[in-house]
Amino acid sequence: MERTYIKELKNKIGSEIVIKGFVQTIRDQGGIVFLIMRDISDICQVVVLKSEKDIFELAKTLSTESVLEVHGLVKEEKQAPAGIEIQAKAIEVLSKAEPELPIPILMFKSGDEAEMTKRLDWRWIDLRRPEKIDIFRLWTALEQGFREYYSQNGFIQIYTPSFMSAPSESGADVFEVQYFEKKAYLAQSPQFYKQMAMASGFEKVFIAGPVFRAEPSFTTRHLTEFTGWDFEISYIESHYDVMSVLEDTLIAGFKAAEHVTANALTVPSKPFPKLTMAEAKTKLKEAGIKSERLYDLTPEEEREICRLTKEETGHEFLFIVDYPVEARPFYHMRHSDNPGLTKSFDLLYRGLEITTGAQREHRVDILEKQAKDKNLGLTSIEDYLNFFRYGCPPHGGVGIGPGRIIMKILDLPSIKEATFLPRDVRRLNP
């Protein structure tokens, strides 16, 4: 008999069916055993009567989180979840769980770091909770929206290597690995290869893949490995063209995810509010927020400037544009009329940076000068510089942190909760 998902049972009343899933709870009431079963779609109640002698005795020996196949009759029962239950006719134990679970399949106190550490040690059990599965349904819907936009607008997906011969951002915060007889580095971003695609004439590309950052950070928003979504586009006039594409991408993603989560999810409208870094610093100073960073925003400043913008515009997104050169890598294009500022931006969402982007410098002589200004040796980036020696269109792009977006949509206490298997300074398992 073909398997029926639990969410479909309401259409099967009076029918014999087969369900498969985990035993969530067991209640032995003497002459009857109640099992609450869970599959990917929902939960339901299974009733095992004493008159069904063989399976009744089996039910008494079960442990929670064992995996079962249950054959039975679907019946109406007002006291049961969703008003239906299954009267069991046969039970097969597909996998018996050990009687003592290392962690309960129950909600821990939100934000308790010690309990989070233990849950992450047993992540595959922690992920059985339905609200955890919903996190990754949201990931799926958001990415489907992005991909639909890219497909409709002529983007090409590329797959870039994680091993690099030189750091992609700078010498700091990079994982160095032994690569046969050489040193290699884990990619801090696919930046160089996105730009190579522009030099190859691909014009529009997107990437979904791992990013590695050797930052000794112990915050709720940092990981040493995370999934990044990137795009790069050619023939732009300025970084504002990149921002416009990013707006369209996010709108498409939010529309796709709108009905997946019970959390308040407002599909944003164009244009997103924009402030220069100088304007943001002025507004924060007027609000009484002291700045600890001259060329960037602190987490407190990010939260406060978003709060002020939400009050003024009702918008949950905010672009901070025109960062000083001190805060940006050498390959960001600089304003011709103000070379101390770059044609770059960060996008904040609900008080957190989720995206960094810029127009890139595509003129090799200027790139070389800017690299020297940042004290980078040209030999170490020779392959990268060669991308621009034989013609390359003006271009720009972004790196997006989808885990941070999910974290803010669902109001999760840490990005670790939004990550299937998080990696941080201390964690390499499971």
CATH number at residue 57: 2.40.50.140
Rounded to 5 degrees, φ, ψ at 152 are -75, -15
Give residue-wise pLDDT tens across range 93-145: 999 999 999 998 865 555 566 688 999 999 999 999 989 999 999 999 999 99
Q: Do 91 and 183 sit in the same domain of this protein?
A: no
Domain that holds residue 91: 6-95
Residue 221 labelled as part of a binding site: yes
In the predicted model, what is the mean pLDDT of the chain? 94
Of residues 394 and 217, the one with the higher pLDDT is 394
What are the start-end ranges of the H helices in 178-287?
A: 191-199, 239-257, 277-286
Model pLDDT, residue 337: 96
Q: Is 223 annotated as a binding residue?
A: yes
C-alpha to C-alpha distance for 319 and 239, rounded to whole angstroms:
11
368 assigned to a ligand binding site: no
Residue 394, Ramachandran bin (φ over 0: left; ψ between -120 and 50: alpha; else beta): beta
Instruction: Please name the residues in contact with 419: beta carbons below 8 A apart, sequence gap of 6 or more.
Output: 223, 226, 227, 403
* pLDDT of 170 above 60: no
- pLDDT band of residue 83 (cuts 50, 70, 90) is very high
At 74, the pLDDT band (50, 70, 90 cuts) reads very high
Q: How far apart are CA 334 and CA 366, in angstroms?
A: 10
Q: Is 350 annotated as a binding residue?
A: no
pTM of the model: 0.94
Reference 238, options 37, 396, 380; nearest CA is 396
Asked if the peptide bond before residue 161 counts as cis, ω within 30 degrees of 0, the response is: no
Q: Is 21 annotated as contributing to ligand binding? A: no
214 carries a ligand binding annotation: yes
Tell whether 103 is covered by a domain.
Answer: no
Q: What is the rounded average pLDDT of the residues 41-70?
A: 96
pLDDT of residue 264: 79
Examine residue 279 and state whether it is found in any structural domain, yes or no. Answer: yes
**CA 269 to CA 197: how far, in whole Å?**
30
Q: Domain for residue 113, yes or no?
A: no
Is residue 379 part of an annotated ligand binding site?
A: no
Q: Any known ligand binding at 137? A: no
Residue 356, annotated ligand binder? yes
From the CB of residue 160, how many other CB atoms can be counted at a distance below 10 Å? 19
Q: At residue 418, what are phi and psi to the nearest 5 degrees?
A: -95, 5
Task: Let me know how long the chain is.
Answer: 430
Q: Do residues 252 and 384 both lie within one domain?
A: yes
Residues 8-37: tens digit of each pLDDT = 999 999 999 999 999 999 999 989 999 999
Q: Domain tally for the chain?
A: 2
pLDDT of 371 strictly over 90: yes
Q: Which of 245, 296, 290, 304 lies closest to 271, judged by CA? A: 245
The pLDDT value given to residue 115: 87
CA of 314: how far to CAs of 254, 266, 281, 366, in Å?
17, 11, 20, 40
- Cα angle 264-267-271, degrees, rounded to a multiple of 5: 135
| Interval 271-293 mean pLDDT | 95
The answer to whether residue 382 is domain-embedded is yes
Phi, psi of 27 (to 5 degrees): -125, 110
pLDDT of residue 11: 95
Same domain, 77 and 135: no
**Which pLDDT score is estimated for 394?**
98
| Secondary structure of residue 225 in the 3-state scheme | strand
360 annotated ligand binder: yes
**pLDDT above 70: percentage of residues in the chain:** 97
**What mean pLDDT is predicted for residues 386-394?**
98
Task: Note whether 158 and 269 are same-domain residues.
Answer: yes
Task: Indicate if the alpha-carbon torsion angle 316, 317, 322, 327 is positive or negative.
Answer: positive
Interatomic CA distance for residues 88 and 83, integer angstroms: 16
232 annotated ligand-binding residue: no
Tokens coding 96: 């018996």
Query: 72 pLDDT exceeds 60?
Result: yes
Is position 353 annotated in a ligand binding site? yes
Give the residues across from 32 on adjacent strands: 49
So what's the pLDDT on residue 282? Answer: 96
Give the CA diameter of the chain: 87
